[in-house]
Amino acid sequence: MRLDRVDERIISILGADARMSFAEIGGQVGLSPSAVKRRVDRLVDSGAVRGFTVVVEPQAVGWTTEAFIELYCRARTSPGEIRTGLSAYPEITSACTVTGEADAIVQVRARDTRHLEEVIERIGAEPFVVRTKSTLVLSRLVDQPILAGSAENRS
């Protein structure tokens, strides 16, 4: 599905406040509430919008420690095997296969360094993991969602 500028603006508005009413969104994009609803339904049906969610501040729920863990896997480990092995960890907020020496990188949130150490040990014990390398986050410098409105700055 190809998004037009109105679709991009609607997604940007929803990204900033998914609780905004169709009438409020319509007021910002120049459409009726019913036209906005039809567009949002189409965006959801097409998969361009995968859902609506709450963004929780990790510190508010006590997950104050963050780290990135590089995974070095045994030969011929597939991305699917890594995904399956890591999917049961509630501490993992994202995991990606990467280029370079590591096979994957995992973002982890934990209560404290002791909890982080336990998570690293559990991940390191996965049968496909040969070794790990961890980097503790000291402070976040930029943390922004990807919104369609940012596409307006395209070249």
Torsion, Cα 102 107 111 113, to 10 degrees, reads: 20
Per-residue pLDDT tens digits for 9-61: 999 899 888 899 999 999 999 999 999 999 999 999 999 998 888 777 888 88
The strand pair at 65-73 and 129-136 is best described as antiparallel
Mean pLDDT (the chain) is: 91
CATH dotted code for 5-54: 1.10.10.10
Q: CA–CA separation, 78 vs 45, rounded Å?
A: 30
The strand pair at 104-110 and 129-136 is best described as unpaired
Of 89, 94, 83, the residue nearest 116 (C-alpha): 89
Say which CATH architecture domain 58-136 belongs to: 2-Layer Sandwich (3.30)
Per domain, the residue ranges of the chain are: 5-54, 58-136
Residue 73 — very low, low, confident or very high, per pLDDT cuts 50/70/90?
very high
Q: pTM value?
A: 0.72
